[in-house]
Structure 1
Amino acid sequence: MAAPQDVYAGIAPVTDFAALAAGEGYTALPDDWLVGTADIVSSTAQIAQGQYKTVNMIGAAVIAALANALQGAPFPFVFGGDGAAFAVPPSAGAAARRTLSELRRWAEEEFSVALRAALVPVATLRAEGVDLRVARYAPDPGQGAEAADYAMFSGGGMALAEARMKAGADAVPPAPPGSRPDLTGLSCRWANLRAQNGLILSLVVLPVPGAPAEGFRDIAAQVVEIASHLSRSGHPVPPQGPPLRWPPAGLRLEARATHGQGSLPRRLTGVLLFHLMAFVLLRFGLRLGDFDAGHYARQVSVNADFRKMDDGLKMTLDCDAATRDRIETVLRRGAEAGLIRYGLFDQAEALVTCFVPSASRDDHMHFVDGAAGGYTEAARRLKSS
């Protein structure tokens, strides 16, 4: 049997998302692992001010900072739009706590955003009657050892950890003033993605506590099946990669997020020059050393996380109004039966925030959300379902 710290690394990735939606392929994490959660306190206000790209950048920063702190060691995480959650073995507990502390201080000082964060043992969550199981989903079955994969969670543990955090439990305090996480590889260079089929649908479906688990799984399977009839199952990122614009819309945002202890003007100049070179390479599909621009852009689409299981089903779909109505009919019936809660939110565009440790490898990660509120707005609408 694998040692506790090797549990996640030893899980074989699954390439069938429908099987994961049906509850197959999950492994229980050990009791001594720790669950970290972080989200923006005022995300609704940020959305109202048109700052959802900033919200997404901060959410993705949680993942990038911890990945850098763990020096590339695999760990399960999930991007939630206005935050993120993850699990780490006890050997990484100190690094996780330090990183969350630095993120809180960075968000406050760089963006005037209140980021809350918490860290709780899996055993504490199980003592309250939930479980924490994880699977690995590989979006591209054709990739080799460098394949990107994303964690999927079930059992209610992640949802409880988030609820505890919002109630003030398990809090991780901010680091001292001036502290900064390592956000190397975090970027938002791509232009927003216009819906090709009518609308971008952000969808959040959660099981009702105490309801039969098979009821939620059946509804999730129906939604996934309906989406499978869309072009590329509703994938909002074109096969050739997201559109390019010059200058990048997120240029200053990326510089602010990643300048660390250095000068913002110097970092802005560096980001500008880097993206100018990347723009030329990507625009003309050129190669530079180990970097193949055409392959990289296509891999952005392949690796994009437009659907996930996070103690529920979350999807960002490029779909038509008729498909949206079919999905809502299934969800409304499930809610009326007391099996699920759901939230839907329509918008015209999706956005992509990236974490690219190395552009010459295929394991770069791309977090997809609706551009006008996305998962955050869909989750806010859960109360009315």
Structure 2
Amino acid sequence: MANNSTRFYENLPALNIPVSTLVGDIGHFHRVPDSWHIVAADIKNSTKAIAKGQHNSVNLIATGAVIAIINIAYKAKINIPFFFGGDGAIALVPQEILHETLNALQKHKKNTLKNFKLELKTGSLPVKTIYQEKIQLKIAKLKVNDDLNIPVVLGDALHYAEDLIKNTLPQQEIIPDHKPLDLEGMECKWDKIKPHKNGQEVVSLIVISKDDTKSSKIFAEVLKAIDDIYGSPSRRKPITARRLKLKANLRKINAEMKAKLGKFNLPYLLKSWMIGQYGKHIWLKKDNSKIYLKKLVALTDTLTIDGRINTVISGTPQQRDALTGYLDNLENSGKIAYGIHVSEESIMSCYVRDINTHEHIHFVDGGNGGYTKAAKSLKRKP
């Protein structure tokens, strides 16, 4: 039976306030229990893979990693905070499901190497180790809308752990059990998505604070500036229902099939192709599908605060110029560093448990490796 520590994240209040207000008040944040663990999966040399045109595969593998983690928690009926990063995933999990989570990621790692020839670094770090190293880790829960709550983390703990797992710690090789990898709910059938209005672009942005002790105040200022320049989160969201198009590309379906099932499966291939080919004439005309599309937009994850600000937004080049001008001033004053990538569209991958409920979430990245290329531009800075 789960104890109070296991229910820690589930029991956090979901605060229905502007994200800049939440981030700006450290009193809204809570200490993660010492018994929890940071789990990470990161694609090695993802920047090179994207340069070779493998951005869709990178996004697919990252989506698979976060869904593998979510499904372990779902089966255990435990609510956990998780973060999608474009080329990887991070989550906080209680001790009760740590081994199963690493087991699932190990299976996903082997499948990734076999089918995509890409190496996935996976592992975990105890939260108590973070505290022993005097690294900040605080978490809150934000109510984005009636359908979506997201975790918000302050402190460099998650990325500190991710860097150790990727570059320093020995890989935690776990002998997987014989159960198949569970990526149930993984759906990637949407075509690249153009912004709501003609003449708009999609911006993938990553912002870090140069002083971890001041990140609360600095992030609040940055998020308020984004609101002032681009408008509300719903206004700047790059996903709209009218721009969604199902895609019946066999290469895309084949990649999804290999990521999800690990092998060729003709019935899966044919079913996915039929949905992509005829879904717009049949499935998308149904009343429940129209409700699903409305929910889909509401449940789209375009803002991740995992110790950094990661966001995908749509707007005009003029708005981007205003934003980069503002960020340049903060960067030149030594308060932040940021990376940015601009594309013509966004890409979306989905986790769908039930289209008739709120049991689905949709991960968004900028086109052509948005977050990964933004991270690359950030790494070039001192």
Please, what TM-score do these two structures have when normalized by structure 2? 0.89
Query: In structure 2, what is the equivalent of residue 40 of structure 1?
Result: 43
2:157 is aligned with what amino acid? G
Residues 23 and 50 from structure 1, CA distance in 2 versus in 1: closer, same or farther, beyond 3 angstroms?
Answer: farther
Aligned match of 1:190: 190
Cα contact 1:355–1:366 (8 A) shared by 2:
yes
Flag structure 1 segments of 5+ consecutive residues without an equivalent: 142-146
Equivalent residues in 2 for 1:17-28, closer than 5 Å: 17-23=19-25, 25-28=28-31
Instruction: Output the CA distance in 1 between the equivalents of 2:170 and 2:138.
Output: 20
* Inter-partner Cα distance in structure 1 for 2:105 and 2:313: 31
Q: What is the match of residue 231 of structure 2? A: 229
Name the counterpart of 2:266.
Answer: 265
- Gaps of at least 5 residues in structure 2 are none
1:271 and 1:341, CA in 2 relative to 1: closer, same or farther beyond 3 A?
same
Whichever residue aligns with residue 10 of structure 1, its letter is: N
Post-superposition CA distance 1:43-63 (Å, at most 9, x none): 112211222121111111112
1:253 equivalent in structure 2:
255
SS at match of 1:193: coil
Whether 1:377 and 2:373 are equivalent positions in the alignment is yes
**% identity of equivalent residues:** 23
- The two structures have a TM-score, normalised by structure 1, of 0.89
In the TM superposition, what whole-angstrom CA distance separates every residue of 1:286-309 from its partner, at most 9, and x where no partner exists?
14xxxx000101111111111121
Task: Spell out the pairing of 1:1-385 with structure 2 (5 A cutoff).
Answer: 3-15=4-16, 16-23=18-25, 25-70=28-73, 71=75, 72-141=77-146, 147-169=147-169, 171-173=171-173, 175=175, 180-195=180-195, 196=197, 197-209=199-211, 212-229=214-231, 232-240=234-242, 242-247=244-249, 250-260=252-262, 263-275=264-276, 278-284=279-285, 286-287=286-287, 292-385=288-381
Q: How far, CA to CA, are the matches of 1:274 and 1:184 in structure 2?
A: 17
Contact 1:102–1:174 (8 Å) recurs in 2: no
Q: For residue 187 of structure 1, report the CA deviation from its aligned partner.
A: 1.1
CA deviation vs aligned residue, 1:291-341 (integer Å, no higher than 9, x gap): x00010111111111112110111111111111111111211111111111
Secondary structure (helix, strand or coil) at the match of 2:15 reads coil
Aligned in 2, Cα 1:17/1:80: closer, same or farther, shift over 3 Å? Answer: same
Distance 1:39 1:96, change over 3 A: same
Query: Following TM superposition, by how much is the alpha carbon of 1:251 offset from its aligned partner in structure 2, in angstroms?
Result: 1.9
Aligned residues of 1:215 and 1:339 also touching (Cα < 8 A): no
Q: 1:249 to 1:219 in 2, by over 3 A?
A: farther
Structure 1 Cα separation of the partners of residues 335 and 31 of structure 2: 24
Q: Which residue of 2 aligns with 1:144?
A: none
Letter in 1 for 2:110: R
Are the structure 2 counterparts of residues 68 and 374 from structure 1 closer, same or farther at C-alpha, using a change threshold of 3 Å?
same
- Determine helix, strand or coil for the equivalent of 1:4: coil
- Mean CA deviation greater in 126-135 or 85-94: 126-135
- For 2:235, give the aligned amino acid: S
When the two structures are aligned, how many residues end up with a matched partner?
Answer: 373
Alignment root-mean-square deviation, CA: 2.5
